Amino acid sequence: MALNDEDDGTARTALRKSAFDPDDLALLGKKLGEYRVDSILGAGGMGVVFKGEQPLIKKTVAIKVLKRALASEPAFVSRLLDEARATNVIAHPGIVDTIGFGQAPDGRPYIVMEYLEGEPLDARLLAKGKLPVLEALRLANDILAPLEAAHSAGVIHRDLKPGNVFLQRLPDGKDFPRVLDFGLARYVDSTGRGSGIVGTPSYMAPEQAKDGDQTPAIDLYALGCMLYELLSGRLPFEAGSAWGVIELHLSKTPRRLDELVLDLDDEVADLVHELLEKEPSKRPTATRARREIARLLRAREEAATIGEQRRRPPSKSTAKAVEKKPEVEKKKVDPREAATVIGLEGVDVPLPAPKSARARATELSTDVHPVVADPSESSVKVDASLDVVQTGPGIAVWIGVALGVLLVVGALVILFG
């Protein structure tokens, strides 16, 4: 939402402006440092965010000004300053950069940040209800990169939630998640811990709610809550009050995610519930969680690609190539040679060889007219229109028998000579 002076004169504009403090509206058109305040982008728990511009170089920025009611509280002034410090200490492209800090004419502190085109993740979730598995895993992977960098720099976000992730719209139309609002960030001490009850109840880790020792595992629990919500469209715990939600985080185990999302595989569900472990030491680090999500994402993208290729019809170029395939000159084949056909699986299956005259005569037995001259004669004569077939012993057999007899007689003569 953006308001500017050109909107004056309509009832709708008056209603929208009435939702903001007069001190905030009074900044419109004024200059904060070198930046001109043009319109209101929105408001949060700590401050109001304006759209501004550096007039000389025409650079558009976002200016976050602390609310009037909090400006006199040192703790909130410190939080705004911590946000500016944290983003610069981490210096990661996945975190919105803070480029200036100052004080408004009315005494309120402000920070100047880079201006982004796009929408917050909670708005995307509100519009869609829930996200497909691949989209949710890609978002988690992109969020874990700056989170890993923050933890390496000794910074805990402590308020990770969809409202603090901005989906920047890139020139190619793709979304690039950016982590916002390090106002509740804390630097870990020499033991690797911080303290204090802060955060948003729906995404608050048990140890965070108990005012106990806080480690980077807090942010991993919040990411688990986010993934649960992105995949199912509902939070892990819901109650009638903030304290009711906190009590559930402390004592209850959320319903299995794969029971709510029936087409969700076990590996993704297991990772989400590992992030939601009550014991901080049982949760993965940002580095391990990112490595595991990258593995799950890669496997599912490859499976989706293979499935798409199988469903994809042949391209026009492929079809034309098949149509224009040159014809192979047909070779005259001797009918006596064995032929082959292509089987269903592409295996050459031999056809039976051409049948012999004997076999053809047997199959055509209805056309055979035997003429027997003597019942004792074993050979059979057939009609002259067919090949002559002799079914009895042939001449070759008799010659063989005669030679055998001669050999036996010769052997006896030599033996008994």
Alpha-carbon distances of 127 from 119, 219, 235, 324, 355, rounded to whole Å: 11, 25, 16, 50, 76
Which residue in 260, 268, 322, 330 sits closest to 293, CA to CA?
A: 268
Q: What CA–CA distance (Å, rounded) separates 35 from 196?
A: 35
**What CA–CA distance (Å, rounded) separates 151 from 377?**
108
- H helices of 265-391, in order, are 266-275, 286-311, 316-323, 357-363
Amino acid at 232: S
Whole-number Å distance between alpha carbons of 400 and 404: 6
Q: DSSP assignment of 70-103, as one string?
A: GTT-HHHHHHHHHHHHHHHHH--TTBPPEEEEEE
Torsion of CA 303, 305, 310, 315, to 10 degrees: -170
Distance CA(155)–CA(218), nearest Å, equals 11
CB contact at 8 A, 92 and 150: yes
Active site members: 159
Query: Which residues partner with 110 through β-bridges?
Result: 65, 102
Radius of gyration of the chain (CA): 43
* Tally of CA atoms within 13 A in the half-sphere of 241 that contains its CB: 3
Tell me the backbone φ, ψ of residue 289, rounded to 5 degrees: -65, -40
